[in-house]
Structure 1
Amino acid sequence: MSGNPLIGRVEVFGETPTSVVYCLPGETTVLKAPELWLDGKRYDRRPLEGSLAKEDTIYTILGEHPRIVKSLGLEDIAPGVTALRLERATIGCVRKYILEHRDNPPPMNKRLRMALEFTEAVAYLHRKGVTWHDISTRNALFFDDLHIKICDFGASFVDGYDFEPEQGYESRYEVPSRGRKLSEIPFRVQELFALGSAIFEITEWKVPYDGIPEPQIVQLVYSDKLSFISEDNPARDIIDRCWHEKYDTAETILKELGEMQPRQLL
């Protein structure tokens, strides 16, 4: 049996139903594309269709920001196949890093800084009229010294554009219905609840509903059963207020994180 022809020739960083993210070894950028091509040959094709043109538009709207992964724009990688070229993380996915280092978390002051950077990114999106609609540490990357930048705006939509909201938040980050239909819950309420879940994950150094199977998570969310926040977590009250829909803007959350025990955030 022949071996994998891609081993040593390409690095794959992530796969979704609509795209694969990969690069050649040593490159400082990655390609996000519906297909993986190497030396003129296709090795992978994603089963569902996405919109890289939409995502490219959103990166253009956002421009350069220290908390947003840099985009170099669209390029053709094969006849009829377009990819989005993006900055490559020096460390990798925040969720993956947390899971791989769960027994050795950084000191709380560094985790608070990470939460502040993540919140800074979300607040910036909202200032630019962008609703992320897929807030998650899966869509955030670590760079040198565990500084955060966010990416993946395939599910996002923008004020003034006719982008349709696509399926977004993972079950761990979904806001409980609390007697409402999902269509009745404002997008900003969903965003800020999910932001609280990201702050929880980074500061607690574990995913919400840690260790619970997916079907049970869905039932817990439906029943409004939230994860336990450690009593000694400095961001405990902020997370709780996010989860109980006490905020109107990410800017307020950013301000409170920045003001909370400022020496810990250095």
Structure 2
Amino acid sequence: MELQRPKFESVGNESLENWQLIGFGGFGQVFKARHKKWRCDVAIKLPRHAAGDIELCEEANHMAKVSLHSSVLRLYGIYRGCPPNGGQNIQLGIVMELMDRGSVQTLLETLSGPPPWPLAFRLAYEIAQGMNFLHEKNILHHDLKPSNVLLDGDLHAKLADFGLSRVSTSVLMSSEEMSTVKGGTCQYMPPESFDPSYKPVRKFDIYSYGILLWSIICGKKPFPDATLALLKLKIPKGDRPPCDEIDQRKAEGLRELVGLMERCWDGDPSKRPDFGECDEITKDVFSKHRAGIHQAVGQVMKKLVQLNL
């Protein structure tokens, strides 16, 4: 059957210059390039193999449905051409908004801990906003984690990497890395998803959001030393990242956010909230700290500049 390519603006080599490799993984490579006519830098995601074209087009279709939301990475078009060092074969790629400040994961690593509370609470709110929009469009993310939440020049969060996304209840397969199995990354996967007969539903993303909240609050990776086999054994038995080091009196609203986090990762999917409720709670928490957001962002940006990031 012939591949049905998304009907988006086509971007070819004649429009691009100054290619630079900025990321790679099991999916393929991500380049930064300058679009001559648009006079701006863009990101271009290329699959590792031509067989990835179908998945890439599916990802682009999902992005197209949601990329107009302020908390979702913007899709610009489809690349079709011969990228640098790619030989003479024509390749397809996704042309996306370039995010200047990496991801939540790189931010936490750079800070060696959590961001200032106003920024942490804004990140929690913006991610909840974006995920609620995805679910309202009947799209599941299925790999929500710090490295898939990108940051723009003002450290606003945008959801990215829809490579595992599907319309609700579809079956997912991935073999990206050791910690990634059917439907996502183990540290962020709910206990029910380790059942071979599991079919993804919205509560999958809710659980992942709970673990992501823990990472933002604590500034750490969950289960850093656990093997894949151990995760598959312990998460279904109720193991979660530790909360004893979180002083809930440190910031107004932190108690409410921790409570939301624990509800999101409940072992019973029916007890998890939806993203509409997550949006409401995180909006309220962030509203208590909105006045301090500019100072918090400035504090973090100063450190990033000092480190030439």
Please tell me whether residue 49 in structure 1 is matched to residue 74 in structure 2: no
Unpaired stretches in structure 1, ≥5 consecutive residues: 1-8, 35-44
Q: Deviations over 1:125-174 (max 9, x none)?
A: 00111111111111111112321011111111125xx9653333211101
1:222 and 1:12, CA in 2 relative to 1: closer, same or farther beyond 3 A? Answer: farther
Q: Which residue of 2 aligns with 1:204?
A: 218
1:217 and 1:242, CA in 2 relative to 1: closer, same or farther beyond 3 A? Answer: same
Q: Deviations over 1:233-265 (max 9, x none)?
A: 431100000011423411111111222373124
Q: Which residue of 1 aligns with 2:125?
A: 116
Q: Which residue of 1 aligns with 2:301?
A: none
Please tell me whether residue 191 in structure 1 is matched to residue 205 in structure 2: yes
Q: Which residue of 2 aligns with 1:93?
A: 103
1:183 and 1:231, CA in 2 relative to 1: closer, same or farther beyond 3 A? Answer: farther
SS in 1 for 2:22: strand
SS in 1 for 2:191: coil
Q: Which residue of 1 aligns with 2:65?
A: 61
Q: How does 1:165-176 map to 2 (within 5 A)?
A: 165-166=172-173, 167-176=182-191
SS in 1 for 2:197: helix
C-alpha distance in 1 between matches for 2:52 and 2:261: 35
Normalized against structure 1, the TM-score is what? 0.81
Q: Which residue of 2 aligns with 1:20?
A: 29
The one of 44, 56, 62 equivalent to 1:31 is 44
Unpaired stretches in structure 2, ≥5 consecutive residues: 1-17, 83-88, 174-181, 249-253, 292-309
1:47 and 1:174, CA in 2 relative to 1: closer, same or farther beyond 3 A? Answer: farther
Deviation at 1:47, TM superposition (A): 9.2
1:20 and 1:163, CA in 2 relative to 1: closer, same or farther beyond 3 A? Answer: farther
Deviation at 1:60, TM superposition (A): 1.6
The percentage of counterpart residues that share the same residue type is 20
Check conservation: 1:68, 1:121, Cα contact below 8 A. Answer: yes
Check conservation: 1:139, 1:152, Cα contact below 8 A. Answer: yes
SS in 2 for 1:254: helix
1:218 and 1:13, CA in 2 relative to 1: closer, same or farther beyond 3 A? Answer: farther
SS in 2 for 1:20: strand
Check conservation: 2:171, 2:199, Cα contact below 8 A. Answer: no
Give the number of equivalent residue pairs.
244
Q: Which residue of 2 aligns with 1:259?
A: 284
C-alpha distance in 2 between matches for 1:85 and 1:261: 32
Q: Deviations over 1:199-235 (max 9, x none)?
A: 1111221122245455443433243211112242431
Large movers: runs of 4+ above 6 Å: none
* Further displaced range: 88-97 or 25-34: 25-34
Deviation at 1:67, TM superposition (A): 0.7
Q: Which residue of 2 aligns with 1:126?
A: 135
C-alpha distance in 1 between matches for 2:72 and 2:132: 12
Check conservation: 1:238, 1:253, Cα contact below 8 A. Answer: yes
Q: How does 1:103-252 map to 2 (within 5 A)?
A: 103=113, 105-158=114-167, 164-166=171-173, 167-177=182-192, 181-184=195-198, 187-229=201-243, 230-232=246-248, 233-234=254-255, 235-244=257-266, 245=269, 246-252=271-277
